[in-house]
A and B are shown apart, each in its own frame.
Chain A
Amino acid sequence: MTGYFLRRALGAVVVVLVLSAVVYATFYIAPGDPARLACGPRCNPEQIRQVREQLQLNDPVYVQYWHFLQGIVAGHDYSTGTGVLHCDAPCFGLSYQNNQQVTDLIIQRLPATASLATGAMAVWLLLGTGTGLLSALRRGGATERVLTWLTLAGTATPVFISGLGLLMLFCAYLEWLPFPSYVPLTDDPEQWAWNMLLPWAALGLLESAKYARLTRSSMLETLAEDHIRTFRAYGIAERSLIGRHALRGALAPVIALSAADFGSMFGNAMLTEMMFGLPGIGQLLVTSTQTIDLPVVVAVVMVTGTAVVIANIAADVLYAVADRRVALR
């Protein structure tokens, strides 16, 4: 078991390293001149030269990459011409826009993204798996047909459509809720929850639909297995048949697939943030893409990539715990 974790951790480090190299190559080497981007549109050649010096862009590529890695692990010092600016580890550099440390920018944005993700997750875990189980158990009936079409429509609705719909309905017409504007949890928990309600619903509903479909097909597959037949042949009632013998087997693949889906969930969270104006990491990425703020873009990609790698390991372990037949290798 320990060996398994060590191997997985080592594998994760390798993946993150490869990711960093690819990302670095894509963003700092491939496109034109980072110095020009960093300096801004109104820089003269002399200023660009200075910036290039500051950012050490004259070094060979591998040295630059090494500095990049070094910054992440141990921090980095930038000369600003007049003095030295220290960037603490993990340092992803300084924003081209305002010379702020990128790490700080991301940390500022973290609470909004975390608020969105946790609330939406609660929605889709309960609603998604619940709906899936219900439609598997009511198979062949009207309930199943209705649920099947609802979930189908749910998966076909991008989050910016359902978000718009929710906004129009609850804020513009019914006026039950104010237009959401993010209030940090630490400032006012009640306002935080009220304002997050619609984002949670929008993201949660979309993911629920996906999980409902997944859970349904997994449950149907499990119910068709031979061991269910055995207990049916011994007079076990349908309800305990499902609760005791089918549920666990049915939910194991749902857990496994949820990890594989973590990345696409991230994309949907980003859309939700943009939709509702939440100051989260996704919004940060979109705005820095528009201003071509490379250090921020790179940092967001690295952070989300690493989060996905960790989520995958966590899901593998959960799956193995849920399904004891899977040996951890």
Chain B
Amino acid sequence: MTSEPLVAVDGLTVAFPTAGDGAVRAVDGLSFALAPGGALGIVGESGSGKSTAAFALLGLHHGTGARVTGSVRIAGHDVQAAEDAELRRLRGPVAAMVFQDPLSSLDPYQAVGDQIAEVYRTHRRDASRRAARARAVEVLDRVGIADAARRARSRPHEFSGGMRQRALIAMALALQPRLLVADEPTTALDVTVQAQILGLLRELRDETGMGLILVTHDLGVAAGSVDELLVMKDGRAVEQGPVRTVLDAPREQYTRELLSAVPRVNVRRAPLRAPEADGAVLLESTGLRREFGRGKHALTAVDDVSLTVRAGETVGVVGESGSGKTTLGRMLVRLLEPTGGELRYLGRDIGGLKERELRGFRSELQMVFQDPVSSLNPRRSIGESIADPLRALGKLNDNQITSRVRELLERVGLDAGAYHRYPHEFSGGQRQRVGIARALAPEPKLIVCDEPVSALDVTTQAQVVALLGELQRDLGLALVFIAHDLAVVRQVSDRLVVMRGGRIVEEGPADSVYEQPRHPYTQGLLAAVPLLEPAKAPA
């Protein structure tokens, strides 16, 4: 029994039938094994099949139309051959799963404690209702929910994101499974909460000796939490081995590319150019404030923010969800009207201008948006989208506009012939390039980038960040770079602004804030960032 691996996957292939007669192989001939109590990280970019593989471990593709071949054995059970009843007995007590989005993964209508108790009683038939409730409170308490007896009666929407993920882990824990499969368990969470959840998973492993399979796109998350690493690409395993070996001495070209693309929070940015001593002040905000709603429901998203952006510099803005960074960004380009404070562009107050009065300034202040899907009109060709600001300016004729758009497309690394193609024909990274071209079109002085790379895979992320840096150097643009990912922001910023609860908690030259953070919040934030190389981490 001891010699048998906890998980043995051999030649696993999962194919989804497509509209025609074809099928897409999401997982293609995957094999791996996990010893009892071991921890395996499955990493890969989107579309690599990592989550599909994880779902196959619990037989969750049964009855969905997906074709699964190969063998999956978990603690001696043949998942592939198992009948429904056997699968149900397996799910929970033997292998439990934790999902990505903790809000939608819990029943919104039932108390969290009841949901855990229900799962417990499904597998422990002899347990009384009272015993199941007690068990639910016990595990909620174990995963760090304060006042567990009372909070067990709360419904999921009364919990914070981190607490919900803790509750899901508690649900798994209640059955003392031999294996925990966690599918992107921290992707929807802020970095400090992520660190807590990862810490909790480590503790629970030490305590219960359960095995862990951690599926993640974030190499840093995997680096600190698992012993073995499996790198996937296009449904296949590219490389697998002990985590330090794979990360420190990767054998495969793809792994090396992946690793080099990961932004490091503890590495200084390569200077793009000699820092200009004092560029002219472009944009300046004083006591900027924005509220949403009125009366009792009023919410202050941005509160008393004073910020200066000089020509040609990059100001990084970091903060967790709800810090007001996106609201600030939208106010800076006047997509939102401030409810208080001043916003000056080249000395002129633009904070209170009406839409019509703003038209003259629109070409100077542009924005690159987060979501590459919704930021381009699906019904218009990308050329038309880029040409829009030029048409609105009314300085060029149609031929000039077309040639300018072609020029811009080439400038951002796309084919000039792509003018007449539509957004759905492009990948996420390419669409983000189109978005950048559109922002560049009216020759702005400043571009606010709101999470421009957070929806992209790490290799694409690196390319887009590089493009932005290059454009800034060549065109002398000022950038405001808003992101939740501290490592990405470090790669681009001259100065850094840390936001929390709508206010600026710390501000200064990027390197000094990263290396000697003064505010405890910044210190906590930086300490929570998962690192690829633990050895180099500052103590």
Which residues of A are interface residues toward B (Cβ below 8 A)? 225-227, 229-237, 240, 244-245, 248-249, 323-325
Contacts and interface: CB of A to CB of B under 8 A. Distances in A.
Given A235-B91, A325-B108, A230 B155 contact: no
Contact of A226 (B87, B99, B115, B119): B99
A235 B108 contact: no
Contacts of B99: 226, 229-230, 233
B88 A237 contact: yes
A133 B122 CA distance: 24
B35 to A, nearest CB: 23
Interface of B: 58, 60, 87-93, 96-97, 99, 101, 104-110, 115, 118-119, 122-123, 155, 157, 168, 171, 175
Label chain A's interface by main secondary structure: helix
A248 B109 contact: yes
B118 A236 contact: yes
B324 to A, nearest CB: 24
A227 B104 contact: yes
B107 A245 contact: yes
A230 B88 contact: no
B122 A236 contact: yes
Contact of B92 (A227, A234, A237): A234
A319 B127 CA distance: 35
Nearest to A244: B118
B91 A230 contact: no
Contact of B157 (A232, A237, A240, A325): A325
Contact of B89 (A225, A227, A235): A235
Q: Which of A230, A232, A249, A323 counts the most chain B CB atoms within 10 A?
A: A230
Contact of B90 (A227, A235, A249): A235
Across the A-B interface, give the 8 residue pairs with the lowest CB-CB distance, nearest first.
Answer: A235-B91, A235-B88, A226-B104, A234-B92, A233-B97, A234-B119, A235-B92, A230-B105
A137 B109 CA distance: 21
A232 B119 CA distance: 10
Contacts of B105: 226-227, 229-230
A233 B115 CA distance: 13
Nearest to B172: A234
A232 B105 CA distance: 11
Given A230-B97, A233-B96, A234-B175, 14 more contacts: A226-B99, A230-B168, A233-B58, A234-B91, A234-B96, A235-B88, A235-B89, A236-B88, A236-B118, A237-B88, A245-B110, A248-B109, A249-B109, A324-B108
27 contacts: A225-B104, A226-B99, A226-B105, A227-B105, A227-B107, A229-B60, A229-B99, A231-B118, A231-B119, A232-B60, A232-B91, A233-B60, A234-B91, A234-B97, A234-B122, A234-B171, A235-B87, A235-B91, A235-B92, A236-B118, A236-B119, A236-B122, A237-B122, A240-B122, A244-B118, A324-B108, A324-B155
Contacts of B104: 225-227
Nearest to B123: A235
Contacts of B91: 232-235
Contacts of B168: 230
A227 B60 contact: no
A227 B97 contact: no
A301 B155 CA distance: 44
